[in-house]
Amino acid sequence: MALKLEVLQVGGWKPFSLVDVVGKITFTVWACGCNLKCPFCHNWKQAEWQDCMGWEPLMFENELEQAKEFVDMVHLTGGEPTLQPKLVKEVAKISKSKGVPFSLNTNCTTPFALKLIEIADHVATDIKVPFSELSGLPYRTSEVFWRNFLNCMNKLASMKIPVELRIPVAKGLTMKYLDTIRDIVEKFEPNRVTLVINPLVTEPLTDPRNKEWCSKYCYKEGHLSKEEESLWKEFAERLGVKYKIKRWID
Ligand code: SF4
């Protein structure tokens, strides 16, 4: 599945971001392409290789040199970066050469993710449940990818790096799968985990891939209800992990 592109493709980068990793200032790079079809995806154009540009390592290196004193980590996100393993390796190598930790945001469903997480100092991933519904894939394909994801979680849990486990919350759906989420989070040492409860939102806050799906499962109000927030708070506190419940509108 790794793509042999003549030129690696990115959507761009931003030298300073406060919103991509909880509590961190990141130099964020967006990779193009994705193997999933999440209906709530707001980066779907880049995920489908639109609005992309060729990767310019020298330009990235120069900009990182100027920004490195002010950022906590380089965060490579997407799209799904592991579809372009060479890009992941190059971004990691340049970041580390500048003394900046490398953070990889991966959906952890590709076979390459298993190896590539080994070079990351921090990993962020979504726990998408129910996976077939949230990945937008036909059931049989989603079954294979879900197995890859669980393997990736097992490997990640055996590593000693910090992780950000993000839970995209679909209205009326995700709360039914708390046991599945708990089983995954419990694989990790609690002090290594930041849990991000992320209510899915729709227009006009974002431009999701499938607006009809979002009209049913996304939070037009931009946040969970007070009752839902309390339940997630209790859930995270029982697991003993750091957590953040996102509110897109207060
Ligand atoms: S994994 Fe991320 S980038 Fe890929 S389709 Fe889903 S939300 Fe979009």
For ligand 1, the distance from its centroid to the CA atom of residue 146, given in whole angstroms, is 14
**Residue 250 domain-assigned (yes or no):** no
Mean pLDDT of 37-65: 97
Cα–Cα dist 111/128, whole Å: 18
Distance from C-alpha of 241 to C-alpha of 250, rounded to nearest angstrom: 24
- Predicted model pTM: 0.96
**pLDDT value at residue 160:** 87
| C-alpha dist (Å) from residue 214 to 105, 126, 209 | 23, 18, 9
CB 88 within 8 A of CB 81: yes
Tell me which of 92 and 203 has the higher pLDDT.
92
The answer to whether residue 3 is domain-embedded is no
CA-closest residue to ligand 1 atom 7? 41
CB count within 10 Å of CB 197 equals: 23
How much is the pLDDT for 249?
A: 85
Give residue 250's pLDDT.
Answer: 78
pLDDT at 1: 58
Ligand 1 mutation target, pool 10, 44, 196, 210, most atoms within 8 A of CB: 44
**More confident site: 205 or 87:** 87
Task: With residue 29 as reference, give the H or E element that holds it.
Answer: strand 26-31
In a domain, 25, yes or no: yes
Q: Is the residue at 167 inside a domain?
A: yes
CA of 37 to the centre of ligand 1 (A): 6
In the predicted model, what is the mean pLDDT of the chain?
96
Helix axes 178-185, 226-239, angle to 10 degrees: 30
CB atoms within 10 A of CB 1: 10
CA distance 155 to 188: 10
Average pLDDT rounded to a whole number, residues 216-229:
96
Kindly list the protein residues whose Cβ atom lies closer than 6 A to any atom of ligand 1: 34, 36-38, 41, 43-44, 47, 78-80, 107
pLDDT at position 6: 74
For 145-194, what is each residue's pLDDT tens digit? 999 999 999 999 999 899 999 999 999 999 999 999 999 999 999 999 99
What pLDDT, on the 0 to 100 scale, is given for residue 100? 98
Amino acid sitting at position 150: L
Domain membership of residue 2 (yes or no) is no
Let me know if residue 49 belongs to a domain. yes
Model confidence over 64-98: pLDDT tens digits? 999 999 999 999 999 999 999 999 999 999 999 99
194: β partners: 164, 242
Span 104-152, pLDDT tens digits: 999 999 999 999 999 999 999 999 999 999 999 999 999 999 999 999 9
The helix, strand and coil proportions of the chain, stated in percent and rounded to the nearest 5, come to 40, 20, 40
Distances (CA, A) of 186 to 2, 117, 130, 160, 228: 31, 19, 18, 15, 21
Domain count, the chain: 1
CATH number at residue 65: 3.20.20.70
Place of tokens 């991966």: 106
Instruction: State residue 49's pLDDT score.
Output: 96
Number of Cα atoms under 13 Å in the Cβ half of residue 122: 24
Q: What sign results for the dihedral spanned by CA atoms 182, 187, 192, 196?
A: negative
- Is the dihedral angle over the CA atoms 65, 67, 71, 76 positive or is it negative? negative
Range of the domain at 56: 9-245
